[in-house]
Structure 1
Amino acid sequence: MMTGVGGLWMLAVVSNSGSGTTSQQKEFDMPVVGAATHQTLSGVSSHDVDALEDAIGLREASRESTGLDERTFALVKIATLIALDAPPASYAWQVGNAIAQGVTPEDILGVLRAVAPQVGGPKVVAAAPEIMVALGLDLDEEG
């Protein structure tokens, strides 16, 4: 467990062995984070397109190397998120990119259906609400 006050942080390590529980504590100073680093991390965490491109910067080069058009590339990215059981923030970013490339919600549903036999039901069920949220749909709302 890590706790901190100001720039001083303490890491507590607890181990449980046959001879009982032991605990060690170590203090360390957190590094000073530069303004540019802070700004980039803030931008990436809030899905700022420019910050993401600066931080990641590989999207366009990656797409060009595949030979896929932008729309197909966006659909492949969504299929990959489903297969990996990706975190919600990934869906928000990739679904937004896909919509910007002309992908429709129906296309995304088609991807979900297409990958289901390969990735399995649990991953499809887990991905569906993430896709709904990324599309701005209410999870409790029925279409």
Structure 2
Amino acid sequence: MPTTSDAPVLDTLAAMTVDSIERCGMDARTLILTRIAALVAMDAPAISYLAHVDPAVKAELTVEQLQDVLVAIAPVVGTARVMSAAGHIAQAFGVAIALADAEAQSIAEAGARSRDSA
């Protein structure tokens, strides 16, 4: 039975991700590193990495750990894929930072409007 949604594709992807996480016995950091390695192997676009920024932050993934994954898989996936991934990861972090800045600015503006009207 179809469900009504404004974003059925994103909802499906989110449900698949939740199901995968629930069925996986890996700790959060290992899971994210494994997923990033898979994204590199697939030459995934930046938007795919963007979906993993928040979970990576929550898992306290460090830049060094991310670099270690890229170094570890480079001989298998090749330098072109690793370099492509590095660019896509940087782009995803840039978008995530821009979104966080925009959200913080909106919150600050709402707070200022609230204070001004009080």
TM-score in terms of structure 2 length: 0.66
The within-5 A match list for 1:90-109 is 90-109=48-67
Based on CA coordinates, which of the two structures has the bigger radius of gyration? 1
- Pick the structure with more helix per residue: 2
TM-score in terms of structure 1 length: 0.56
Contact 1:75 1:108 in 2 (8 A): yes
Task: Write the distance in 2 (CA, Å) between the matches of 1:71 and 1:117.
Answer: 22
SS of residue matched to 1:81: helix
Quote the offset at 1:85 in angstroms. 0.3
Quote the offset at 1:102 in angstroms. 1.4
Structure 2: give runs of 5+ residues left out of the alignment: 96-118
Contact 1:105 1:135 in 2 (8 A): no
Q: Which amino acid aligns with 1:55?
A: T
The within-5 A match list for 1:62-141 is 62-136=20-94
Q: Which fold has the larger relative contact order, with Cα–Cα distance below 8 Å and residues 6 or more apart in sequence?
A: 2
Task: Write the distance in 2 (CA, Å) between the matches of 1:118 and 1:74.
Answer: 19
What CA RMSD, in Å, does the superposition of the two structures yield over aligned residues? 2.0
Counting matched residue pairs gives: 91
Quote the offset at 1:64 in angstroms. 3.1
Task: Write the distance in 2 (CA, Å) between the matches of 1:62 and 1:85.
Answer: 21
Structure 1: give runs of 5+ residues left out of the alignment: 1-35, 45-51, 138-143
- Pick the structure with more strand per residue: 1
